[in-house]
Amino acid sequence: MPRVVPSQIVEFVDERFPFARSRQEYIVDDQFKGSVSALLRLVDKLPDELLMLDGVDYSRFILSISTVESTLEAWNTNLQPGALHPAALRELCSAISNLRACLELRIPGEVGHRFRNEVGH
């Protein structure tokens, strides 16, 4: 089984959730359920030693994962499409963007450096 690295997850997010890179507000509704589930599976396979974040970034990462998990759980238990409030779906958008940002901090080289300069780290 291939080893999952932060850059792989960032690439997946960029492909499936293109709004996340620029932090655009977007409604991530249940049509994204498969992609959201795959994102969680990738994060679960990320080795702990590749996720060395400081306290603030680690807390933001954990909150993002918790938001994604709870939204996916709500989708899985609610049979009525579109039942989640739009504010919850915008929160999911923000969580995906934050998750991406935290993982991009772990990418060495030019891509990670460019991102850190953009967000002021």
The domain of 21 spans: 6-119
What percentage of the chain exceeds 90 in pLDDT?
55
Using CA atoms, how far apart are residues 38 and 95, in angstroms rounded to an integer? Answer: 15
Per-residue pLDDT band at 79 (split at 50, 70, 90): low
Q: Average per-residue pLDDT in the chain?
A: 85
Would you say 69 and 96 are in contact if contact means Cβ atoms under 8 Å apart? no
Using CA atoms, how far apart are residues 17 and 41, in angstroms rounded to an integer? Answer: 16
List pLDDT tens digits, range 24-77.
888 888 889 999 999 999 999 999 888 888 899 999 999 999 999 999 998 888
Written as six digits, the tokens of 47 are 């080795």
Would you say 66 and 99 are in contact if contact means Cβ atoms under 8 Å apart? no
Using CA atoms, how far apart are residues 26 and 94, in angstroms rounded to an integer? Answer: 8
| Total domains, the chain | 1
| 91: CB partners within 8 A, 6+ apart | 67, 71
Q: Has residue 1 been placed in a domain?
A: no
Of residues 37 and 118, more confidently modeled = 37
| 70: CB partners within 8 A, 6+ apart | none
| 16: CB partners within 8 A, 6+ apart | 32, 35, 38, 39
Q: Has residue 29 been placed in a domain?
A: yes
pLDDT at 98 over 50: yes
Q: Has residue 22 been placed in a domain?
A: yes
